[in-house]
């Protein structure tokens, strides 16, 4: 497996692969890889001739009071995992390789970023869209793979690709969970033993909400109230939001009469966790 932190090096290999007529799959990550990331890499390996994994903690998607400095990192472990899964190249740039000191260009998607995580993290998705658009250009990938756990991010990137005519297919992959239901996340490492146990309340609440919709409940307020009440039984949990929105437009709805995203953000102690479920298919072609 090729390791490089240089854009020019990535583009050199991409040119050769394209010359050979090979397809390329891209898995953008911020490193500290876990089984959720592994599922994306496996899917990319199945679909493409070559797989690029980007391993970059993107500074411009962190707010001033967020966890950039302490965000978990283990590049050697990431390389070992990627190699074992058959990735062809891991791209691990420094921030100054990705952003010139005087960089003043950003990519912003309106409307879809106005609620959910966009309320408390107003610059987050601008940072995500900017770095992802750069990675698309650098990799010239045919397909890119994103997890459903970051469902708002997935919807925002899909809209960016549509609006800006990127020649790339976006593949969403299901949430990978621990045995007790907790969604896999690099930030789970912040939780102590008691908080880790408390965090399972997110899945329990969402599971009940999903069951209500499957049973025919169409009143979004009732489903949200049930999810809130279950989370409220855990004293270590503080709700940031519980929302049910149109799956594609991410706007709040009152009646569940179309595919929806039910999403929660909850503080367990000081750590903010997100989770969700969707109704309908994750990808149009599946």
Catalytic residue among 34, 37, 92, 124: 37
Strands (E), the chain: 2-4, 24-29, 50-55, 89-91, 143-147, 169-173, 237-246, 260-268, 271-278
Side-chain-side CA neighbours of 281 within 13 Å: the count stands at 5
Cα–Cα distance between 211 and 198 in angstroms, integer?
21
For 273, list phi and psi in degrees, rounded to 5: -115, 145
Give 134's strand partners.
none
Q: Is 137 part of the annotated catalytic residue set?
A: no
Q: Give 185-191's long-range contacts (Cβ < 8 A, gap of 24+).
A: 185/34, 185/36, 185/149, 185/273, 186/30, 186/31, 186/32, 186/34, 186/71, 186/72, 187/67, 187/72, 187/271, 187/272, 187/273, 188/273, 189/32, 189/72, 190/67, 190/270, 190/271, 191/268, 191/269, 191/271
In the three-class reduction of DSSP (H, G, I as helix; E, B as strand; rest coil), residue 184 is classed as coil
Just list the catalytic residues.
37
């Amino acid at each position: 497996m090729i390791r490089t932190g240089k854009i020019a090096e990535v583009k050199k290999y991409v040119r050769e692969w394209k010359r050979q007529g090979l397809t390329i799959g891209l898995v953008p990550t911020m490193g500290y890889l876990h089984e959720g990331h592994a599922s994306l890499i496996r899917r990319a390996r199945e679909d493409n001739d070559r797989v690029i994994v980007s391993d970059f903690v993107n500074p411009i998607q962190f707010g001033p009071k967020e966890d950039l400095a302490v965000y978990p990192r283990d590049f050697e472990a990431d390389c070992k995992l990627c190699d074992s899964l058959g990735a062809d190249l891991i791209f691990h740039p420094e921030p100054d390789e990705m952003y010139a000191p005087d960089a003043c260009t950003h990519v912003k998607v309106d409307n879809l970023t106005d609620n959910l995580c966009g309320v408390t993290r107003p610059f987050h998705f601008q940072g995500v869209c900017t770095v992802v658009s750069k990675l698309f250009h650098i990799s010239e990938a045919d397909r890119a793979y994103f997890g459903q756990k970051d469902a708002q991010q997935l919807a925002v990137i899909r809209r960016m690709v549509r609006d800006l005519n990127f020649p790339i297919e976006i593949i969403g992959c299901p949430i990978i969970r621990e045995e007790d239901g907790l969604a896999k996340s690099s930030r789970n490492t912040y939780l102590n033993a008691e908080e880790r146990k408390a965090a399972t309340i997110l899945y329990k609440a969402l599971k009940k909400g999903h069951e209500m919709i499957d049973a025919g409940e169409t009143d979004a307020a009732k489903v949200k109230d049930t999810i809130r009440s279950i989370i409220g039984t855990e004293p270590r949990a503080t709700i940031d939001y519980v929302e049910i929105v149109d799956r594609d437009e991410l706007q709040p709805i009152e009646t569940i009469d179309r595919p929806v995203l039910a999403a929660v953000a909850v503080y367990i102690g000081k750590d903010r966790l997100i989770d969700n479920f969707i109704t309908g298919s994750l990808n149009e072609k599946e």
